[in-house]
Amino acid sequence: MNNIVITILRVLIFIALLPFTIASIASFHRHLAHYPMSYEHIFTWGGVSFLGAFLFIYQFQEVYSYGQSIMEKVFSFASPFTSFFANIFPFYVLVLMLIYWVVERVVGTQQYDHYCMFFSGFFMAMHILLTAQSINEGQKFKINPTYLFTMSIMVIVSFIVTILLIDLIVGKVTINFYLQNTLMTGKNIFMSTVGEFVGLR
């Protein structure tokens, strides 16, 4: 009985979050245009490069698993939600941007930030794709409540964390604009969907 209730709750939360998950992806891509040096294009090419490497060269399972094992140790205090928190935070993006921020402060130069953005996009794509594979591993049905719920939360949190880290690097606060745009876009998607549904009836 408890499992049925939890499953229903996960499905309902996924449905409620779906417009905002879509909005977070669209808003994130547009939001990168606020940063210097064409971060939007560099980050996107990083993600595309991972997909190309994943499909034709190497699938990065060992790299991903190593990062996840560290995150699980970090969130071991949150048991029984250790795996959930480990899944929603992109380990390599966090480490890369924090290291770059420290190096930037010590060396006093931003001439390597395009490399940071490229590999952040690369590792973000790796995190999303391999987390999706990990959650669905061994599942009879590829689309299940646990997958839908976790992926929705992961996408939203990963993009928020990434923007916070980029703000830290460039030295300005833009996260409020991202959140406002995401909420507004998500609300518009939700209202449009409800309007279409009501109209069909």
Residues of the chain above pLDDT 70, percent: 90
Q: What percent of the chain has pLDDT over 90?
A: 33
In a domain, 144, yes or no: yes
Q: Are 87 and 65 contacting, i.e. CB atoms less than 8 angstroms apart?
A: no
For 142, the domain range is: 36-190
Give the predicted TM-score (pTM) of the model: 0.84
| Segment holding 51, helix H or strand E | helix 39-56
Q: What is the DSSP letter of 79?
A: T
Q: What is the token pair recorded at 137?
A: 């591993």
CA atoms within 13 A on the CB side of 45: 10
The tens digit of pLDDT for each residue in 108-148 reads 777 778 888 999 999 999 999 999 888 877 555 556 777 88
| Residue at 13 is within a domain | no
Total domains present in the chain: 1
Residue 191 clears pLDDT 80, i.e. is over it: yes
With 0-12 CB in 10 A as exposed, 13-18 as middle and 19+ as buried, what is 3? exposed
Other CB atoms closer than 10 Å to residue 182's CB: what's the count? Answer: 24
- Reported as a single tens digit per residue, the pLDDT across 166-190 is 898 888 889 999 999 999 999 888 8
Q: What is the pLDDT of residue 198?
A: 62
pLDDT value of residue 11:
79
Is residue 3 one of the residues assigned to a domain? no
